[in-house]
Amino acid sequence: MELHNITSASENLVTRGFSVKAFDVYGPSLEKAKEQGIEACCTPASAAEGAQVLCLMVVNAAQVDEVLFGAEGAAAAGSSVICFSTVPPSYQVKLRGRLDDLHKDIGLVDAPVSGGFVRAAQGQLSIMVSGTESAIKVARPVLSALTNPPAGSLAIVGNDVGAASNFKLINQVLCAIHIAVSGEAMALGANLGVNPRKLYNALKDSSFMFGNRVPWQLQRDGIPKSAMTIIHKDAGIVMDEAKLAAFHAPLSAVAEQVFTAALSAGLGKEDDGNVVMLWERLGGRSVAEQGSAKDAEEEAQQPGGEEAIETISDLLNGVYIVAAAEALAFARRKGMDLADVFKVVGTSAATSKPLVRFKDELSWPDKHSPVADQPSVAATLTSLNTVLREGKRVNTPLFLTQAAQQVFTVAANKGWEHEGASIIGKLWS
């Protein structure tokens, strides 16, 4: 087995009895690998020699090409390939063709992964998988070893490569927007004078990403968990695929620019959850806690801030609804089975309360009317306009909120003011 850009996953496989050979361009990683019982190799080709399964955990498609087809590439060994990297679905199809042209009967498994360093070490990653039955059969022991309960999951979503990457694409539409808006929401809350811990406690269940990433903003421990550069790369893949499909993706477009701005502001080495630091560098108040989380919890019990928290809740709900509509519409454009899409992303790191509540009318807007007991388009537009006024009052740029407001403005201009907010799904139908 060969792993490029060695991660905790390789160490986990060793503990589960696998014989692992590895290559990495970073020397210290190879030294650490040796300490964990991994055979360190000096080239991809030498690492792949004799391996039954070749695992690739690299940043992008260019690195996959280099590892497999470079001067000392690993493809010549003929090992079955698991591509764990998040790459464009169209690239997976091209990769399948290049491997077929070698006439070595090389199986390819499309297996984009999520979960971060900690869950990789625990063998509890979430992996979406597609490929031929024979290719998946060969790869199954490795995949199972990396996706153990309780947090791990293995979802087989198609019988050809590209399918799993499409699922990851839709997943990342939501994840990128939700991570970016967590920063936007917390920044506005801080500038409105709300205790950040109190704001987090009130809204932590609004989406997985808000609940998961905001603690990184509050308690900045310096331990790498999920790099800003990775979500920036994934947001770029989303927009590249949107352009290829001539698909309108307003929130994804803004999210990509938010992460581009974060990198430009020198935040490339930060965790993606710390995107809130972009607003801090624009002059906003810091949300970082100076003491322990326990001390912060005690301070959060003080009264006050309820009206501002309601404003932030309106911000998040407006963005989440548009994000869900955009993601599910993108899946429709790609011809994906939306029931299967929701089974995967609706229970993953991409989930939010509006996605779960409005999944039917957002997935099939021409077949389902908006559910009862939800804010109307007009009411949502009024709430978002209030949020934007508050942002302007405290000099806080609200990139995603403004984009969501524009989507609801289009819906209102179509005469849907009195319809439920989830009718915006029809804008893409």
3-state secondary structure of 157: strand
CA distance 405 to 21: 52
CA distance 294 to 292: 5
In whole angstroms, how far apart are CA 284 and each of 158, 194, 196, 197, 384? Answer: 45, 13, 13, 17, 20
CA distance 179 to 150: 23
Q: Count how many Cα atoms sit within 13 Å of the Cα of residue 328 in the half-sphere of its side chain.
A: 32
Q: Of 21, 168, 198, 334, which one is the catalytic site residue?
A: 168
Contacts of 149 (CB under 8 A, 6+ apart): 124
Query: First-to-last CA distance in the chain?
Result: 45
Other Cβ atoms within 10 Å of 46 Cβ, number: 17
Check if the beta carbon of residue 178 is closer than 8 Å to that of residue 209: yes
Active site residue 34: no
CA distance 276 to 375: 28
H/E stretch holding 405 reads: helix 399-413
CA distance 379 to 407: 14
DSSP string computed for 67-99: HHHSTT-SGGG--EEEE-S---HHHHHHHHHHH
Contacts of 130 (CB under 8 A, 6+ apart): 109, 110, 111, 156, 157, 158, 159, 160, 161, 162, 163, 164, 165
User: How many residues are given for the chain?
Assistant: 429
Q: Could you give the residue numbers annotated as active site?
A: 168
